Amino acid sequence: MHASPTRGAAVRPRDEIRSQDPVDTPEPSNTAEPVDPEAEVEPGVVVRRRSFFGLCAAALLAPRGPRARLPRPEEEPRLTLDEFLDEVLPVARELRAGLAARPVRAAEDRYLHVLAAHAVRLGDVAVPELRASSQGDGVEIGASWAGDPFVVLHWRLRPGARVSIHAHTYGNVCTVGLEGRAVVRNYETVEPLDTSAEGPVAVRRTAEQVLDPHGINLVPLSHGFCHGLEAGPDGARGLDITTRLGERAPTPYLELDEPAGAPAGAPLRGRWRLE
Ligand SMILES: [Fe+2]
C-alpha cells in the first residue's frame, strides 16, 4: 500500500515513504542541506536516507547463497495417467469437436499440440497387457485407456526392433516416450495421399528425431502422416494417444527406398503395401 502525501507536505521525489517502519532510499550525494538520516515527514510516515554508494557497496558485499539447482527430469513433479486424463479431456473434447474427418492443418495441429502440452508432464504409466503387433518383429502393443475422444495405446519395442513405416489415414497420433530411446521418422507424400496408387510415389521425410522419455512426436492426418520407429540398444516404450477422425481402413505401409543420409525434405520414392 502506498501512502499519499497530504496537500502542502513536500516530499522529495527521491524519498521513498511508507507507514510505520523506516525504509531505505537513495539520497542525492551533492545536497548542500544537512540531512537528517531518518525523519518523520508525516505522523506515522518515516523516511530513511542512505547514500547511493552505500547501497552499491551493500549489494556487492551481501552474502550470496549457492544458485538454486534445476531438478533433473526424474525429479520433476509428474502426472499420473488419471491426473493427465482429468486435465486434458475437457479441452481435448472441445477441440476434437471442431475437427473434420479430413482436418485442416491449423486446427489439427492445435489439437495435437494441446495434447502434447499436457502429455509432456506425464510420469511413467503402468504397462498393460501387451500383445505382439503386426507392425514389426519385437513390437508389442496394448491399451492403457480408451474413451472419448482418444485411446491411449501402450507400445514396447525390443532393442533394435522396428515399426514399419505406415500412413495414418483416419486417426492422428501424439506419441510420448516413456522409457529407452527410439529414432522416429515422419514422411508425407508430395502429392495428395492416394494409397491405391500403384508404382512409385514421391515422398519426403518431414522429421527425424530421437524419442526419449518425455519426448513427443506428432502424426497428424493433414501433413507428415507417416511414421516409423527404430528402437535403440536398450529398447523403447511409450504411448500413442490416438484420436480417430474417420472410418477405419486398412493400414498402408510405405516401402521406401531411402538413400542413407538423405536430407529432410529431399525427394524420395516409395510404394504402398496395404494390409
Ligand atoms: Fe502408427
Query: Does residue 47 contact residue 14 with C-beta atoms inside 8 Å?
Result: no
Determine whether 42 is exposed, middle or buried from the number of CB atoms within 10 Å of its CB (0-12, 13-18, 19+): middle
Q: How far, in Å, from the CA of 134 to the mean position of ligand 1? A: 11
Query: Does residue 268 contact residue 200 with C-beta atoms inside 8 Å?
Result: no
Q: What's the rounded Cα separation, in Å, for the pair 231 and 2?
A: 62
Q: What's the rounded Cα separation, in Å, for the pair 228 and 136?
A: 10
Q: How far, in Å, from the CA of 12 to the mean position of ligand 1? A: 70
Q: How far, in Å, from the CA of 229 to the mean position of ligand 1? A: 9
Q: What's the rounded Cα separation, in Å, for the pair 175 and 220?
A: 11
Count CB neighbours of 106 within 10 A: 9
Q: How far, in Å, from the CA of 190 to the mean position of ligand 1? A: 19
Q: Residue 153 pairs with which residues in a beta bridge?
A: 143, 240
What 3-state class would DSSP assign to 198? coil
Q: How far, in Å, from the CA of 83 to the mean position of ligand 1? A: 25
Long-range contacts formed by 147-152: CB under 8 A, 24+ apart: 147/89, 148/89, 148/93, 149/89, 149/92, 149/93, 149/96, 149/243, 150/92, 150/96, 150/115, 150/241, 150/242, 150/243, 150/244, 151/241, 151/242, 151/244, 152/81, 152/125, 152/239, 152/240, 152/241, 152/242
Q: How far, in Å, from the CA of 128 to the mean position of ligand 1? A: 18
**pLDDT score, position 150:** 98
Q: What's the rounded Cα separation, in Å, for the pair 43 and 40?
A: 7
Residues of the chain with pLDDT under 70: 1-66
Q: How far, in Å, from the CA of 159 to the mean position of ligand 1? A: 19
| Host H or E run for residue 106 | helix 105-119
Q: How far, in Å, from the CA of 263 to the mean position of ligand 1? A: 23
Q: Cell 521525489 sits at which residue?
A: 13
Q: What's the rounded Cα separation, in Å, for the pair 164 and 71?
A: 37
Query: Does residue 219 contact residue 170 with C-beta atoms inside 8 Å?
Result: no
What 3-state class would DSSP assign to 144? strand
Q: How far, in Å, from the CA of 164 to the mean position of ligand 1? A: 9
Domain extent listing, the chain = 1-64, 78-274
Q: How far, in Å, from the CA of 250 to the mean position of ligand 1? A: 12
Q: How far, in Å, from the CA of 77 to the mean position of ligand 1? A: 29
**pLDDT score, position 58:** 53
Q: How far, in Å, from the CA of 171 to the mean position of ligand 1? A: 9
Q: How far, in Å, from the CA of 253 to the mean position of ligand 1? A: 10
Q: How far, in Å, from the CA of 75 to the mean position of ligand 1? A: 31
Q: How far, in Å, from the CA of 174 to the mean position of ligand 1? A: 10
Count CB neighbours of 49 within 10 A: 21
**pLDDT score, position 275:** 76
Q: How far, in Å, from the CA of 227 to the mean position of ligand 1? A: 6
Topology annotation, domain 78-274: Jelly Rolls (2.60.120)
The pTM score is 0.75
**pLDDT score, position 64:** 62
Q: Cell 531438478 sits at which residue?
A: 71
Angle at 256 between CA 265 and CA 275, to 5 degrees: 125
Q: How far, in Å, from the CA of 266 to the mean position of ligand 1? A: 22
Q: Which residues contact 254 (CB under 8 A, 6 or more apart)?
A: 165, 166, 167, 187, 203, 226, 228, 270, 271, 272, 273
Q: How far, in Å, from the CA of 90 to the mean position of ligand 1? A: 25
Q: How far, in Å, from the CA of 166 to the mean position of ligand 1? A: 6
Closest CA to 161 of 219, 230, 98: 230
